[in-house]
Amino acid sequence: MRIGILALQGAFIEHKHVLDSLHVESFEIRRLRDIESPFDGLIIPGGESTTMGKLLVELGLLEPLKQKIENGLPVFGTCAGAILLAKDIEGAAQGQGTTFATMDITIQRNAYGRQLGSFFTEEKFNDTVIPMSFIRAPIITKVNNGEVLATVNGDIVAARQGNQLATTFHPELKTDFVHRYFLGMM
Ligand code: GLN
């Protein structure tokens, strides 16, 4: 099994550390030729979704990766990665051609405001309590198609639609549970 980690910007190295600890092979995606060889899953890390989106377009990576996702490649987006997967970004013109827009969820960026921009909690993910780190996180305001896997205070923080998994928190910082769930999707 070989997992590609989008490594244009943001918290990609932490995902590699989790996969290393699980003895799963991974590689960094920085340019088009990195995705020439086949791979079994894709991780889109947290960071700044607008920056990542622009780089994806500039590097010619957006369309080929989007096609792979639409063809069933398992994908796991955390935080900014979840924003890049969402079909609907609330109040944003961002969706226009600079995001994958493959997952039928509605997301609100920076949903906790400045005061509570970053926080830590423990909540159930698919019935198991895990640590969750939120960093200027979005909220999934609607899962139009698919299942809700976790909520915090009634807000959706993890969802799945077929081959696509999104968390608004950063599981890679404190647990390998969500990565193991993702590997189980393959
Ligand atoms: N606030 C960032 C955005 O809107 C996401 C933050 C993160 O990925 N930790 O892209």
What pLDDT sits at residue 83? 97
Is 79 considered catalytic here?
yes
Ligand 1 proximity of 83 Cβ (cutoff 6 Å): yes
Q: How confident is the model at residue 43 (pLDDT cuts 50, 70, 90)?
A: very high
Is 25 considered catalytic here?
no
What pLDDT sits at residue 55? 98
- Are 80 and 50 in contact, with CB atoms under 8 Å apart? no
Burial class (CB in 10 A: 0-12, 13-18, 19+), 97: exposed
Q: 85 C-alpha vs ligand 1 centroid, how far in Å?
A: 13
Q: How confident is the model at residue 155 (pLDDT cuts 50, 70, 90)?
A: very high
Mean pLDDT over all residues of the chain?
A: 95
Q: Give one DSSP letter per residue of 84-148, joined into a string.
A: HHEEEETT-STHHHHS---EEEEEETTTTTTTTSEEEEEEEETTEEEEEEEES--EEEEESSSEE
For residues 29-38, average pLDDT:
97
What pLDDT digit, counting tens, does each position of 114-152 carry? 666 799 999 999 999 999 999 999 999 999 999 999 999
Cα(80)–Cα(61) distance, rounded to whole angstroms? 17
What pLDDT sits at residue 93? 64
Does 95 have pLDDT greater than 60?
A: no
What pLDDT sits at residue 142? 98
Nearest protein Cα to ligand 1, atom 5: 80
Percent of the chain surpassing pLDDT 90: 93
Q: How confident is the model at residue 40 (pLDDT cuts 50, 70, 90)?
A: very high
Tracing tokens 């400045």 back to the chain, one arrives at: 114
Q: 135 C-alpha vs ligand 1 centroid, how far in Å?
A: 7
What pLDDT sits at residue 91? 78
- Are 64 and 35 in contact, with CB atoms under 8 Å apart? yes
Does 61 have pLDDT greater than 90?
A: yes
Ligand 1 proximity of 86 Cβ (cutoff 6 Å): no
Does 25 have pLDDT greater than 80?
A: yes
